[in-house]
Every structure is written in structure tokens, then in C-alpha cells.
Amino acid sequence: MDKLIITYLENKICTALLSEGRVVQMTLESKEHPSRLNNIYIGKVQKLVPSIQAAFVDIAPGTAGYYSLAENMNHHFVSAPRPQLKPGDEIVVQVVRDEVKTKAPVLSGSISLPGRYCVVTDGRPGIGISSKITDSSARESLQAAFKEVMKEEAAGTAIDGEEPPERVQAALGQQLGVIVRTNAAQAPVQAVIREYRMLIEQYEALKNAWTSRTCYSLLYASLPSFVEGLRDMAEEEEREIVTDQPWIYETLAAYLAQNKRTDKLTLYQDPLLPLVKLYSLDTVLERATEKRVWLKSGGYLVIEPTEAMVVIDVNTGKYSGKKPMRETIFRINREAAQEIARQLRLRNLSGIILVDFIDMDTKEDKEELLRFLGGLLRKDPVKASLVDMTRLGLVEITRKKVRKPLYEQRKA
């Protein structure tokens, strides 16, 4: 069974996911200064930069975020709307990407409220289904269910004996959409619909509140990362959740009870062997911030994050196998691909990633390696895509930027 370990490491809340005995994901978050990701603020437009079609919006005194004017055509003005955005305007924005290195956080005027089964979005009407739901019958069933629900709610009629709240009826006329998450495929349809209604009510309450709040107000705070990790867990996954912090235990117990979950939650109490040492989390963190990663075969990876991209080099290292050269190279590259997929998730590396595998002579080996790596990347909960292999033999990968990479979380 997979385990979610939550404890303190280097004075930060550490959430580590163990699968098959290895840590595959780790986040560090300060209790005093948590991430702003997904938070919703009343911001003030600091300046407009027409040359890059962007505005910089302060979400706190001295803290500006990047706000794309090309992607945000409609703005949520706190007071009377204007035909054009101007410095000094107060607008509602959501943090959709953490600040990374020298780059400011990215803000959006399209508000999204996430749940376990779906995400309600404004400005993007319609029904979206997660691409990770590959079962065509499940996709069609969810699509049909939401179409029927939206139709009946817009008409104000009852569904299974439940009258839609007035707020829900009002919200449906305001260009709200829904994105159905992967977890919905394993859940009863009515549970998904109930959450959808709850999120719409939450959106309406949020909208009613922002007209009376002051600049820089935090209108919505996202869940702590350790609770988000639990919320986003795949429905069919059964995990043991272990923490040695009583306040974290109580927070998780309340969340699980509220959501009628059956996950196994344990408060670990052994002063002689803390969780950090029991699962060697300090060693995992140290190795996950080093450049070199050794493979079991004796080969190794060199991982170099730069300002523009992440570069990964695969080397034969100490490998001394007696098999033919072609077979040896393919074996090391395959092992490297497995470790690369794990390291991208563990270190939370994102953006453009270039991998220099050991050169292979045959087209068949190259295609097989790409198929294998592509399959591994599809399992990543953060959207990761294998683009192609360049003419120089470099494999191009993209991974969605969401949170800071682990090495920056450690320094924060």
C-alpha cells in the first residue's frame, strides 16, 4: 500500500508520497508562509506593459504578479467595470503559478474553484472532461450527466427530488463551466453533482463578498499542500496516511470525516525513531537536490536546472555488463527513463526539459524508448508530455509549471 507521510523536515511541513517503498513525490511548505498558489485576492493594477500585452498587479504591498492581457480579456472589477484596464484599478485575481526564481507569480482573472471530482471555472463555459479518463463509456456518461444537470438546473427543475439552490440557478447564467477531474470516473454521479453544486454556491458567495472587501484582501485561501495531496488522490487508490504532528492529524481527521473518506490515518508516536529517520526523508531530500543520480546498473544521470530549461544527461558510468553494446545501451537508457520520470515528479521540475540519452543506432530502439518514457510520463499527476526526439538525438519533454521546484521550496 502507498503511504503519505506528513511531518516536519528542516522546519517545514514535509509531505512525502511513498510508492513501492520509494519516495516519488515530496513538497516542503512553511507553516508561517504557505504557498499562495490558487489563492484569490483583490489586487491593484500597478502598471500596464503594452509591449508584452501584460499588466503587473499587486496582491500585497510590494508583491506584484504577472497578469496576461492576451489571456485575460475580461476582468473582475471590484467597483464599476471599465472598458479598459488602468493603473490603480482594483480587480479580483487568482494565483495560478507560484513564483519561481526571479519570475513573479502568474495571475489569472478566470476564477477556478477545485474540488475532488470537478473544478468550477468562470469565463470558460461548457463541460470539460479530464484527458486521463480514457474509458469512452465513462466519458460519455459524465458528459451526458452534466448536460442533463445543467439543463434541468437552468430550468429550475428538481433532480432526484432535490431542488437546485437559487444561487445555483443564478450562477448558471454567468458563463460558468466545469472541468470533470479524473477521480469522477470512479465516483457515483450524484456525489460528483453534489460537489459541483457546492462549488457553484461557493463561487456565488465569493462574488457577493468581493464588492465589500478592501484592496489586498485574501478572498479565498487554498488548502494546505498536505490536504490538497489527499484531496487529489485517485479515487481507487488506498493509502495509509501517517503523521507525527497532532495538529496535522486533527486537520486531516476533520477533512476525512467531512468528505466521508475511508483512508487509513495514523498518528505515529515514537520519540526514539521519528518519521524523518524511519523513512530516511532527510537523505531523500539531500539526494533530490544533488546534480548526480546513480542508477542501479552503475550508470548515472546529471540533472542541471537552468533559468531557461532543465537539462538531463545520461551516462554509462560504472556499468560493466558483458552483454552486446546495443543491448547494454538500451538497458541503461530504459533504466534512466524510469528514474527520470521519478526525478521530475520528486524534484517537481517543470517547463522545457531536454534529455540526452546514450546514443542508439537503430530506429526501433529509439521508438521503443520513446514509447516507454511516454507511458511513464502519462502517470504523472502533473501534466507532462513527451514532445519528440530532435535531429541531434535530444528528447524534448514539457511539464506544467505549478509549484516551485523542490530545491527552491527548500531554500524558501
User: What pLDDT was estimated at residue 35?
Assistant: 87
User: What pLDDT was estimated at residue 289?
Assistant: 94
User: What pLDDT was estimated at residue 336?
Assistant: 97
Query: What angle do helix axes 325-347 and 363-377 make, rounded to 10 degrees?
Result: 20
Widest distance between CA atoms in the chain: 75
Tell me which DSSP letter residue 232 carries.
Answer: T
**What is the CA angle 132-134-135, rounded to 5?**
140
Contacts with 119 (C-beta within 8 Å, 6 or more apart), sequence order: 112, 113, 178, 179, 181, 199
Classify each residue of 84-100 as buried b or exposed e, where b means 16 or more C-beta atoms within 10 Å of its C-beta: ebeeebbbbbbbbbbbb
Q: What is the pLDDT of residues 127-169, one digit of tens each?
A: 899 888 888 888 888 888 888 887 766 665 444 444 444 444 4
Report the distance separating Cα 103 and Cα 81, nearest Å: 29
Q: What is the pLDDT of residues 21-66, one digit of tens each?
A: 899 999 999 888 888 999 999 999 999 999 999 999 999 998 999 9
Residue 263 reports pLDDT greater than 90: no
Report the distance separating Cα 331 and Cα 339, nearest Å: 13
> In what helix (H) or strand (E) does residue 409 lie, and over which residues does it extend?
helix 406-411
Point out which residues pair with 243 in neighbouring strands: 6, 267
Average pLDDT, the chain: 88
Classify each residue of 34-62 as buried b or exposed e, where b means 16 or more C-beta atoms within 10 Å of its C-beta: ebbbbbbbbbbbeebeeeeebbbbbbeee
Region of poorest pLDDT, from 99-113, 300-314, 345-359: 99-113
User: What would the grid cell of residue 142 be?
Assistant: 459524465
Nearest to 93 by CA among 60, 51, 141: 60
Query: What DSSP assignment string belongs to 294-346?
Result: E-TTS-EEEEEE-SS-EEEEEE-TT----S-HHHHHHHHHHHHHHHHHHHHHH
Helices (H), 165-267: 166-171, 189-210, 225-231, 246-258
Distance of CA 391 to the CA centre of its chain: 32
> In what helix (H) or strand (E) does residue 285 lie, and over which residues does it extend?
helix 281-287
User: What pLDDT was estimated at residue 294?
Assistant: 94
Helices (H), 76-156: 136-155
Distance of CA 342 to the CA centre of its chain: 16
In this structure, which amino acid lies at residue 86?
A: K
User: What would the grid cell of residue 268 be?
Assistant: 505515529
User: What pLDDT was estimated at residue 237?
Assistant: 63
- Whose cell is 470558460? That residue is 124
Per-residue pLDDT band at 202 (split at 50, 70, 90):
very high
Tell me which DSSP letter residue 395 carries.
Answer: E
Find the Cα–Cα–Cα–Cα dihedral 197, 200, 202, 207, rounded to 10°.
-160
pTM strictly above 0.85: no
Cα Rg for the chain, rounded, in angstroms?
Answer: 23
Point out which residues pair with 302 in neighbouring strands: 292, 313
Nearest to 343 by CA among 369, 380, 315, 318: 380
Query: What angle do helix axes 189-210 and 136-155 make, rounded to 10 degrees?
Result: 50
User: What would the grid cell of residue 137 be?
Assistant: 463509456
